[in-house]
Structure 1
Amino acid sequence: MTSHQFYLDELARLVQGELIGQSDLVLVGLSSLEQAQSQHISFVNGEKYLQEARASHAGALIVTATLKNQLNNHHNFIVVDNPYLAFAILTHHFEDKVLKRGIEATAQIADSAIIADNAYIGHYVVIGENCVVGEDTVIQSHVQLDNHVEIGKACFIDSHVTITGKAKIANRVRVHANTVIGGEGFGFAPYQGKWNRIVQLGSVQIGNDVRIGSNCSIDRGALDDTILKNGVIIDNLVQIAHNVVIGENTAIAAKCGIAGSTVIGKNCILAGGVGVVGHINIADNVTITGMSMVTKTISVAGSYSSGTGQFESNHWKRTVVRLRQLADVPLTKIVKQLDHMQAQIEHLESTLKSRK
């Protein structure tokens, strides 16, 4: 691990921003506006944060040109079009990285495995037959790679991850602690009151620049592969079942569950707690709001929701009672009542017009 310090002009070059102020100001970290001190740099992500920015003790601020003109009490700036993006770029330079390379003595590696010379293999890692670990990849302690698993270049595999099922992982992929990739999918054939296990013969294919959070399960395919395409990002505690395909740059938040053989398009967003049934398709550029249940194919881009919004508890209880009462009334009776009400309204309107 390393510590970092940068001159302000260095940081400006890293984000291709305009430096205003003291070019040789030394900064040792990023910080929020509230917690920043004189040796920190922070960012202002819109006018609603101006009051906090004026009160901040940050040594320098990342701002737009418009915001900079409203912060007369500060003197050191990096001016960019998108402060949040600039902040994201700088986090990579202040990050503590694992710089160690080589293979720890406690690791167990099959003779047929191919490990790049500049990879790092941590303590108690187990790597099976015919595995491949690419250049500059870091594999932390207690990871298990079963036979025929392949990991590309510049990946980070955190502690206690298991990768099995002949999974293939491309370049610059991050997999966080306790996740399982390539485990057996949930496939069973019912017959005469018993569940008959279906052996899962597919694999998992993960593209470039994918991020997978901790405690996730990504199951291998039954016959075809489970596929996560380039740029997919997945939060913690997500279940992805066998033969699911997820398109480029789709984001999936925590506690989502995606059932088998579903195809999700590119640039989609699944908010927290979304459930998706199996064997459906979701188009590109679809957003599913939190705790929704997706029960059928979505063919048109847009935002979709399901479920009932939040109520105060007593209001919720009254609403549930009314829903149950409504459910007990036959639909034909409701339609007749509405027709009767419409007829009465039309009669009243006619009577009022005749009196005029």
Structure 2
Amino acid sequence: MTHASHSLTLADIARHLGVPLSGNAQTPIRGLATLKDAEPDQIAFLTNRAYLKDLATTRAGAVLLHPEHSKTCPVPRLELDNPYLGYARLSQLFDPLPARDRTGIHPAAVVADDATLGEGTCVAANAVIESGAVLGERVVVGPGSVVGADSQLGEGTRLHANVTVCHGVVIGKRAILHSGCVIGGDGFGFAHDGGAWHKIAQLGGVVLGDDVEVGSCSSIDRGALGDTLIGSDVKIDSQVQIAHNVQIGDHSALAGCVGIAGSTRVGKHCMLGGGVGLSGHLTLCDGVQVTGMSLVTNSIHASGVYSSGTGAMENHQWRKNAVRFKQLDDIAKRLARLEKHRD
């Protein structure tokens, strides 16, 4: 449940969304809530048929919904073909975070003399801006965050508390980096001499496009030689690991705990479910969706939905199936012999 520090009218909201309104245009709205919990000064939304039961009894001041549900809505409504998108846009109006931003440099921040800060930049307490860093207009650097030497942050980018942007990283406009994420740490590169490991210096960087969001405690490693490249409008959830020299195309989305090994290329408009693992040096073409907890060990050259592994089942059944899995190779060979004999 959200409440804004100010109120808008339904007319303001309809105008912002560019949709028709059915109801009192002057009704004041102070926030957003679910159909079940909304009060008369809040807006709710309906995107899942499972919540139709809550629509009949909602006390919301108005509801965002698809036109097919308009006849069953007992309160004022705003009709959209994509109510969830409308909710996403509306949520920005009630987000209290931008209102708390203060421009300028906190006395407890450390900013190198040769760093460049754009107009309207906010650098919070205990943040560090290292030598040669360039911050665009209206960049927000949260408490305890570090912007490494010679890195660049595009206008409107926000670093929440305790974000680390290492040296030589380039981040586009309007990026959002959540607490604990590390952009540009060393890739996992070592050479083995038969007895010990020897570190390979990671000489590349990381480039993030515009409108990228990176969740908390996620890591995007710098390239070994060339750069690790993340396209524009890529959304990365929390606790995701992206190894050195990975490339991810525009508009792709990665859910929590995804792991991508080095030099793999993910196309545009791809979606990787929670816990998906991609082996190294693979290519996923545009429009690939991989369902949660799948392991991808070969390149994918056709768009579509891909899965691996098995769903949970009773342990005794799983143990039987595991035994049969070990027998598959022998069964396949026997079948091949039978088919050859039949021919």
TM class by shorter chain equals: over 0.9
Q: Which moved more, 1:234-243 or 1:187-196?
A: 187-196
Tell me the distance in 2 between the aligned counterparts of 1:337 and 1:322: 20
Q: Which residue of 2 aligns with 1:173?
A: 175
Offset from partner CA, 1:4-58 (integer Å, 9 cap, x none): 3111110111101111111111111110111111111001115443221112111
Tell me the distance in 2 between the aligned counterparts of 1:234 and 1:66: 33
The one-letter amino acid paired with 1:89 is R
Q: Which residue of 2 aligns with 1:22?
A: 24
TM-score by length of 2: 0.94
CA contact 2:219–2:241 (8 Å) conserved in 1: yes
Q: Which residue of 2 aligns with 1:294?
A: 296
Give the direction of change, closer, same or farther, for the CA distance of 1:106–1:158 in structure 2 (3 Å limit): same
Deviation at 1:337, TM superposition (A): 5.7
CA contact 2:147–2:167 (8 Å) conserved in 1: no
Tell me the distance in 1 between the aligned counterparts of 2:21 and 2:4: 26
Q: Which residue of 2 aligns with 1:254?
A: 256
Matched, 1:37 2:39: yes
Q: Which residue of 2 aligns with 1:220?
A: 222
Deviation at 1:320, TM superposition (A): 1.6
Tell me the distance in 2 between the aligned counterparts of 1:238 and 1:309: 22
Deviation at 1:339, TM superposition (A): 7.2
Alignment partner of 2:239 out of 209, 228, 237: 237
Mapping for residues 148-159 of structure 1, pairs under 5 Å: 148-159=150-161
Q: Which moved more, 1:92-101 or 1:246-255?
A: 92-101
Q: Which residue of 2 aligns with 1:320?
A: 322
Q: Which residue of 2 aligns with 1:91?
A: 91
CA contact 2:4–2:31 (8 Å) conserved in 1: no
Mapping for residues 164-203 of structure 1, pairs under 5 Å: 164-203=166-205
Q: Which residue of 2 aligns with 1:146?
A: 148
Tell me the distance in 2 between the aligned counterparts of 1:99 and 1:93: 15
CA contact 2:4–2:30 (8 Å) conserved in 1: no
Offset from partner CA, 1:141-161 (integer Å, 9 cap, x none): 000111101101001101111
Matched, 1:57 2:92: no
Tell me the distance in 1 between the aligned counterparts of 2:50 and 2:327: 46
CA contact 1:16–1:80 (8 Å) conserved in 2: no
Q: Which moved more, 1:249-258 or 1:186-195?
A: 186-195
Deviation at 1:312, TM superposition (A): 2.1
Tell me the distance in 1 between the aligned counterparts of 2:306 and 2:222: 28
Matched, 1:79 2:79: yes
Tell me the distance in 1 between the aligned counterparts of 2:258 and 2:295: 10
Give the direction of change, closer, same or farther, for the CA distance of 1:18–1:331 in structure 2 (3 Å limit): closer
Offset from partner CA, 1:202-256 (integer Å, 9 cap, x none): 0000000001000001000011000101110000000000000100000000000
**Paired residue total:** 339
Offset from partner CA, 1:297-336 (integer Å, 9 cap, x none): 1111111111122222221122123323445x47433444
Tell me the distance in 1 between the aligned counterparts of 2:20 and 2:327: 64
Alignment partner of 2:266 out of 264, 267, 275: 264
Offset from partner CA, 1:89-142 (integer Å, 9 cap, x none): 000000012331111000001000011231100000011101011111111100
Q: Which residue of 2 aligns with 1:333?
A: 334
Name the SS for the 2:72 alignment partner: coil
Deviation at 1:78, TM superposition (A): 1.4
Tell me the distance in 1 between the aligned counterparts of 2:116 and 2:4: 29
Tell me the distance in 2 between the aligned counterparts of 1:78 and 1:157: 34
CA contact 1:283–1:298 (8 Å) conserved in 2: yes
Deviation at 1:81, TM superposition (A): 2.0
The one-letter amino acid paired with 1:87 is Y
Tell me the distance in 2 between the aligned counterparts of 1:65 and 1:321: 53
Q: Which residue of 2 aligns with 1:5?
A: 7
CA contact 1:165–1:204 (8 Å) conserved in 2: no
**Which structure 2 segments of 5+ residues have no match?**
none
CA RMSD across the alignment:
1.8
Tell me the distance in 1 between the aligned counterparts of 2:333 and 2:50: 52
Tell me the distance in 1 between the aligned counterparts of 2:38 and 2:339: 62
**Which structure 1 segments of 5+ residues have no match?**
344-356
Deviation at 1:201, TM superposition (A): 0.5
